[in-house]
Structure 1
């Protein structure tokens, strides 16, 4: 009986050991198994690269989207965003034709041509952030360097729009051929300190000249108004004087001897005028 019990317990122990080993093996297999999946989000493009086989390497790249299952031992998935990217670069210095040094602080907005993602990976074999800080930064620097070398320091400041248009043309061409679509470039261009002082002095001189011209125009306008006012007052005085003279003339013409005699009689108070007051007497009766 004891012998049978021992055999039963041994068989059970053996089964438990086998079950435990099997479970451990399943866990190990689950951990090390190579199959997994990648979700390619909207606004992104994934590329599937075969690492083994006769068609391995970057020559066999497939564009994938959505949920992609793959073997991590034999396949690699790399994801590139195709929505607009914004990169703020560190400032750098470029030299104009007359050896003036301008500091440029560029900020680039761009997006990737999704159809050219395989070509981008074949050519650079780097992540997008590495491409931005290496190839794309060098492309931006070269564009500024080439264009700045065709301008003088004065013409850069006075023809800013033309300067930036040439930068845009170069970047559109040089980035576009590798699958990077130019959207917008914001560049803060700072002239050297000496040129900045010259510009400030020139602006101050222009402001002073404009102020003097405005003051001169205002003085001329005020003088014109004063002259017109004086001429108007003089004309009014002349009109009044002429009117008064004409009235006196008419009064004198109307003073006939008979009328004078009648006026004397009407205004005489019965007293004879004293010596020296006769002219005033006649003046009173003629008014």
Structure 2
């Protein structure tokens, strides 16, 4: 009886040990992630050409390892660093990268780097971003960086798109916080102040010129109006002089005569209307 109990207890313990020590387990690949199966032993040791879809995956933990990579957008805020332009000016850059992984290239990424994604971001990707900024900065002067900011950033993005995309990292967006050196910032502020003062002076000059043109136009208009009026009066006078004949003058005099003869120094009333029949 005692022997049977001992055998039973031993068997139970062995079953528990087997259940605990058995190598088969599973991994849940969440949505927005892909997993890769890595063989730890055998002739095909390494990364299988299999990309596991989302869901529960069973595998032998003694001979196989599952690595999970997120394929949704990742946002990485890198530490600021210094770049040098062609004329030896130093700018501080504080980049923030948004990217995602091409699911089909996850096995290739692990084969090449053999690191978790976090380490890849702070290793290969960080160096790639820093190099892109430094390479592009060498082709710009300090003034051109500030005056052609969009062109500068577009070139950096083109380098990153090409370099990261080749290894399976899909570039989405890059935010750059570019800070010029204090001396250059002061020069830029002074230049902007000078430009604003010049534009203000030009606007005032244009306004004064426009007001002067209005005054001149009004004066010319008044002068033309006066001249036209004078010409009209002169022409009217000339016309009157041409039409005032002696007969017309006598007729006008008769029409206005009140019947009283004018008195002259010769005495008496005398008719001045001589020759009127």
> Shared fold (TM-score greater than 0.5)?
yes
After TM superposition, give the deviation of residue 64 of structure 1 in Å.
2.1
- Using structure 1 for the length normalisation, give the TM-score: 0.78
CA distance in 2, matches of 1:131, 1:170: 18
Q: Alpha carbon RMSD of aligned pairs, Å?
A: 2.9
After TM superposition, give the deviation of residue 119 of structure 1 in Å.
2.6
CA distance in 2, matches of 1:264, 1:222: 57
For 1:240, the equivalent position in structure 2 comes to 229
Query: Does 1:208 pair with 2:197?
Result: yes
CA distance in 1, matches of 2:209, 2:163: 59
Written as runs of structure 1 = structure 2, the 5 A alignment for 1:125-136 is: 125-136=114-125
Paired residues, what number? 263
For 1:157, the equivalent position in structure 2 comes to 146
- Of the three residues 160, 165, 185, the one matched with 1:171 is 160
- Of the three residues 87, 92, 95, the one matched with 2:81 is 92
For 1:105, the equivalent position in structure 2 comes to 94
CA distance in 2, matches of 1:101, 1:70: 53
Question: Secondary structure of 1:227's partner?
Answer: helix
1:220-244 superposed Cα distances (whole Å, 9 cap, x missing partner)? 2222222222111111111111111
Question: Secondary structure of 1:87's partner?
Answer: strand
Question: Secondary structure of 1:103's partner?
Answer: strand
- Using structure 2 for the length normalisation, give the TM-score: 0.81
- Of the three residues 46, 51, 61, the one matched with 2:35 is 46
Q: Higher helix proportion, which one?
A: 1
For 2:51, the equivalent position in structure 1 comes to 63
CA change 1:61–1:235 in 2 (3 A) is closer
Question: Secondary structure of 1:49's partner?
Answer: strand
CA distance in 2, matches of 1:274, 1:137: 126
Question: Secondary structure of 2:170's partner?
Answer: strand
After TM superposition, give the deviation of residue 60 of structure 1 in Å.
5.1
After TM superposition, give the deviation of residue 126 of structure 1 in Å.
1.7
- Of the three residues 173, 181, 196, the one matched with 1:184 is 173
Question: Secondary structure of 2:115's partner?
Answer: coil
Query: Does 1:249 pair with 2:238?
Result: yes
- The answer to whether the 8 A contact 2:71-2:103 is kept is yes
